[in-house]
Amino acid sequence: MRSNKIIQVCAISIAITTLSAGCNKKEQANTETAKNNEIINIDMGAEVATLDPQLVEDLQATRVANDLFEGLVTLNQSNDPIPGLARSWDISKDGKTYMFHLRDNLKFSDGTPITAQDFVNSWQRLVNPKTGSPYTYIAASVVNADAISNGKLAVTTLGIKAMDNKTIVVNLDYPDHDFLAKCTLPALSVTPSKTIAKYGQQWISPENIVTSGAYKLKDHVINGHLTEIKNPYYYDADNVKIPIVKFYPLVDANTSIDKFKSGGLEMTWTIPVDQFKTVSQTYKDEVVVVPLEGMVYYNFNMLRPEFKDIRIRKALSLAVNRVSLTQDVLGTGVVPLYSPVTPTVEAGKYASVAYSWMNDPRSKQIEMAKELYKAAGYGPGHELNITITYFTDDEQKKVALAIGSMWSSVLGVKVNIQNQDWKTFLQTRHKGDYQVSFGRWYADYNGLSTYTHLYLCNAPENDEKYCNPEYDKYINIAKNTANATKQQELNTKALNSALNDYETIPLYQLVVKRMINPTVRGYTPLTNHLDVVQSKWMHY
């Protein structure tokens, strides 16, 4: 899934530690259950929007879904695809046919068999437009997937077949070099079609849910906690060492840190900006910081009349001082971003795609921004009014306040900021009920297409409603091009097309930063640049 050649994205001033380090004695009281190796307590940062793996799109739900569900392929801790529910697979010479061979005696958490047909049903459900999955693009290379998603063909025409109870054949429209990596995502995991048919949307409630992963759901108190217990029918249950996983949706990262210090958590979701320096110095053995394949950006709502003018979009992007934002405001090791994709994806193949002005003196950037703003008809007495919408998060509050201040001081823009809880925020984005919105994308795999779908016309994740037919044309030609050099050329043309449209404001590339109790073993985050975490790896 990811090459180990990923570029180090930042120079981090603290020691990046492994989990084999000795335990810091400061405030290391653990809960009694944790001492007995029965439970691990984990902050998941916010309440999950859904536990339906075909509807999951946020980080919190993905983290839990990786425990509850599994697909044909899974990941190791270096982000490489390895056998999951499939013990092996064969790939045709032309790269367009995959034959998967399931493990023996696979079962759902209720003890019923998992068969090849269950995978067929699950994948058909993913691309069925009635499901409304935001991740249909993951299956785009499968024969007829796009036509089915657009309501033009029946789901039964999808290019996946059960040859017998243990053999699955998938036919692709074109050789998809990222296909195995895509198969590791929750969207392509196996789900219980009979349970879904019986309970409808309520199939994911604790009393109904049936899972296929290492854990099953015990209880879920909204905004309280979510408890998983070991799935005894999981094929590798003997190697799942921690029987109980308890997640807490702690929106306030400061509360999470306090709970960790008092022994109520073994793992935090993040480290708040205000405490990062102090915590990283005081708890050196507990703090882990890892370069991440992901990015933060601001979306323009391209349906709003004020953003139809590219001069406004470019002026607002130029007015953001990314160096000050990353170093002075945040100071957590994140680095400025000047492109619609990270410069590290696919070992830096697309690092040349960046704004031509990125290395210009700050004074020149400001001058350009002011000229564009004035040329678009704005100035004293006719100021642009903008509301920045973000989800409730201390770090993003700092970012919104800083960017609002930059827009105000450089251009005279009148800025308001509003925060929303995570679920409401997702709905706001999907409905397009915003002007400028926080955006964040964590790569699902180490391939360019994990980013490029964000900017395709009518793509489910394209909440800004950006549409450039030239961009779509180059991306679609590239994916059907076998020659790697030619494919890279076409992708670069597409990216430059989007770049020159100023369809988003790229802000910075991310890092993972969290506290982990050194008594937790088995989890090795330093090679996990996609931050795909599974509780089954962990033990005391």
Contact between residue 304 and residue 467 where contact means Cβ atoms under 8 Å apart: no
Q: Are residues 314 and 439 in the same domain?
A: yes
Query: In the prediction, which pLDDT does 482 show?
Result: 80
39 assigned to some structural domain: no
Structure tokens at 119: 């995978």
Sequence-separated (6 or more) residues with CB below 8 Å from residue 266? 30, 34, 40, 41, 42, 260, 516, 517, 519, 520
Query: Looking at the 3D structure of the chain, how many domains does it have?
Result: 2
Residue 127 is part of which domain span?
52-194
With CA atoms as reference, report the closest residue to 498 among 344, 362, 299.
299
277 assigned to some structural domain: no
Q: How far is CA 323 from CA 90, 265, 338, 444, 509, in A?
A: 48, 34, 11, 27, 12
Q: Are residues 62 and 189 in the same domain?
A: yes
Query: In the prediction, which pLDDT does 16 show?
Result: 34
121 assigned to some structural domain: yes
The H-assigned helical ranges of 94-250 are: 116-127, 145-149, 179-182, 193-199
Instruction: Please give the radius of gyration of the chain, using alpha carbons only, rounded to the nearest integer.
Output: 23
Query: In the prediction, which pLDDT does 221 show?
Result: 97
Which strand ranges, in their side-by-side order, compose the sheet holding 244-248?
A: 39-43, 244-248, 225-230, 215-221
Contact between residue 397 and residue 419 where contact means Cβ atoms under 8 Å apart: yes
∠ Cα 327 448 63 (to 5°): 70
349 assigned to some structural domain: yes
Query: In the prediction, which pLDDT does 26 show?
Result: 38
Q: Is 171 helix (H, G, I), strand (E, B) or coil?
A: strand
Sequence-separated (6 or more) residues with CB below 8 Å from residue 332? 271, 273, 276, 289, 511, 513
136 vs 235: CA distance, rounded Å = 28
Q: Are residues 483 and 363 in the same domain?
A: yes
Which of 140, 165, 194 is where one domain is finished?
A: 194
CB burial of residue 32 (10 Å; 0-12, 13-18, 19+) = exposed
Query: In the prediction, which pLDDT does 394 show?
Result: 85
10-residue mean pLDDT profile of the chain (540 residues): values are 31 34 38 69 96 94 98 95 98 96 98 98 98 94 97 98 98 94 97 98 97 98 97 98 97 95 97 93 94 95 96 98 96 94 92 97 98 97 96 92 98 97 90 95 91 91 94 93 91 98 96 96 92 97
Query: In the prediction, which pLDDT does 15 show?
Result: 34
Question: Which CATH number does the domain housing residue 378 bear?
Answer: 3.10.105.10
Question: Which CATH number does the domain housing residue 115 bear?
Answer: 3.90.76.10
